Structure 1
Amino acid sequence: MQKQRTVLVTGAAGGMCRGINARLGAGGHRVICTDLDPDAAERAAQAVRDAGGMADAFAVDVSDPGSVRALAGDVRERVGEVDVLINAAGILDRKYLADHDDRSFERTIDVNLVGPFRMIQTFAPAMVERGWGRIINVSSIAGVTGYPYPSYAASKAGLSNLARSLVIDFWGTGVTVNSICPGVVDTPMVIQEVRDQVPRKVPTGKIVDPDEIGGVALFLIGEDAKNINGADILVDGGATRYFQLFDRP
């Protein structure tokens, strides 16, 4: 049995986080479910509690510095210090290069990359002070292989490289930072056209279940993963080892 940790998950109401929240709760950890939508955050927390786990709900807009600061204060007051930060909040803007304007591109970067950076800046210092912490960025194979939608691909590539780079900042502190890079995960965000390509473009022929992402997150929190640091952990059925998941449009 792992030592109980307090784990803050951003974007906790999203489809992929169903598996993350559930596995963390079942593993005995206290889950802080945060989301832009406060009602959705509460529903996510209630699902953990209904399954016998411990969970709290908070609203946050990771693209808003004031909202992140307020979250840190509220969490510290109601729950205490955060041991593990999982940056899972993200948006996918299905626009090709010609379809983007400055603001649409920046919005994706703000949420998917600057938001996690801001969360790490806010919550990591206390981990360093206590000499233990885990930071997990939910990236994507889109940041490893390229992707038709440039704002999403750029944001996820940046997110993975942020994790790789921060191992220097956290040198000798007891804090590790890694990225989980999912392939096609069974969530409402995945359109049918993508699902239809899985049998011929994913070597396992299977779509990823959110529970599998949760299992990887649970492992990274445990002591068996204490020397995994700065890694991109692909959970994609081998798709990135075959060829691009998408055909050229």
Structure 2
Amino acid sequence: MTSSPTPSSAPRRALLTGAAGGIGWGIATHLAELGYALALSDRSSESLAPLLTEVTGTAADVTCLPADLTDPQSVTAAVDAAVARFQGLDVVVNCAGVLKDARVETMTAATFQQVLQVNLIGMLNVTAAAMPALRRSGTGRVISLTSRAWLGNYGSSNYATSKGAIAGVSRSLALSLAADGVTVNCIAPGFVETPMSNSLPANILERVRRSIPVGRVGRPEDIARTVAFLAAREAGYLTGQTITVCGGRSIAGSMR
């Protein structure tokens, strides 16, 4: 284990991928409110600009680092830039992901591979690049967004595969990094209210809502609060786990 962990009074330093998306945005704003130093990453500076404006002045420090997660060199450059700016890194939140649904008989190999490349290989590229800094932290945290869909979702074989693989590889990484004080956990959101989900037909949204035992769809802040818990220095005894944040839908029946 590292002999020089960051002081407990210092702001936590986090790299967040997929920051411009609905859930990523919620995570970023919540961590900013908690005083984190944030490196926000997405595909372009333009997509991150409104979020940068929102969290500037709230976060301890903030920078935008666009990256192509399928390109290891692009990822390494972004991670190195975050480490240089913050003089280290404590938390990685792998939130980036793509969804390209199709039934197996109509899904092309290229579509299947694209989803795996972004969702799974992208997560591994980011985590691998950040490992040295996370080890030096002494309380490093890797938090990856899987999905309730990994339990099985009609028409989402590629997405479910990628998200299930994230859960599996995170358990292996947890074993590899535990002795260095680094925990590795996953969050599997259920149906969360985002601009993308709100584009669904009203009757589908109502059917989804009725299928959730707590009686409402999730909000980005529900996921963000779980991220904050796992990212805390005090969460060092929880590793290799997947927390399903779905309002009980994963234990309920099918949509009515």
2:239 maps to what in 1? 229
2:200 paired residue among 170, 192, 195? 192
The equivalent residue for 1:136 is 143
2:100 to 93, 116, 119: 93
What is the deviation of 1:131?
2.6
Contact map agreement 1:145 1:244 (CA 8 A) in 2: no
Note if contact 1:181-1:233 (Cα within 8 Å) is conserved in structure 2.
yes
The letter for the 1-side match of 2:219 is D
Which amino acid letter does the alignment assign opposite residue 215 of structure 2? G
Aligned-pair CA distance for 1:50:
5.2
Q: Structure 1: 5+ residue runs without aligned partners?
A: none
How big is the shift at 1:152?
Answer: 0.5
- Aligned mate of 1:69, from 76, 79, 82: 76
Q: TM-score, normalised by structure 2?
A: 0.89
Alpha carbons 2:123, 2:144 under 8 Å: kept: yes
Paired residue type of 2:140 = G
The one-letter amino acid of 2:71's match is D
2:45 to 31, 38, 43: 38
Aligned to 2:112: 105
Is contact 1:15-1:210 (8 Å) kept? yes
Counterpart mapping for 1:158-237 below 5 A: 158-190=165-197, 191-193=199-201, 194-237=204-247
User: Which residue of 27, 33, 37 maps to 1:26?
Assistant: 33
Q: Which residue in 2 is equivalent to 1:242?
A: 252
Q: Offset at 1:243?
A: 3.0
Gaps of 5+ in 2: 1-7
Distance 1:199 1:156 in 2: 23
What's the TM-score once normalised by structure 1's chain length? Answer: 0.92
Q: How many residues align?
A: 246
Q: What secondary structure, in the 3-state scheme, does the structure 1 residue paired with 2:166 have?
A: helix
Deviation string 1:192-247 (CA, Å, 9 cap, x unpaired) is 245222232111121111011111111112234221111111110101101346x9
Aligned CA RMSD, in angstroms, stands at: 1.9
C-alpha spacing 1:145/1:5, structure 2 compared with 1 (3 Å): same
SS of corresponding position for 1:99: coil
The AA in structure 1 aligned to 2:212 is V
**Partner Cα separation in structure 1 for residue 160 and residue 154 of structure 2:** 6
In structure 1, the residue matched to 2:12 is: 5
Structure 2 residue 123 is matched with structure 1 residue 126: no
**In the TM superposition, what whole-angstrom CA distance separates every residue of 1:167-199 from its partner, at most 9, and x where no partner exists?**
111131100000011000111222424522223
What is the percent sequence identity of the aligned residues? 30
- Sort the Cα spacing of 1:138 and 1:2 in 2 relative to 1 into closer, same or farther, 3 A: farther
Runs of 4+ in 1 over 6 A off after TM superposition: none
Which residue in 2 is equivalent to 1:14? 21
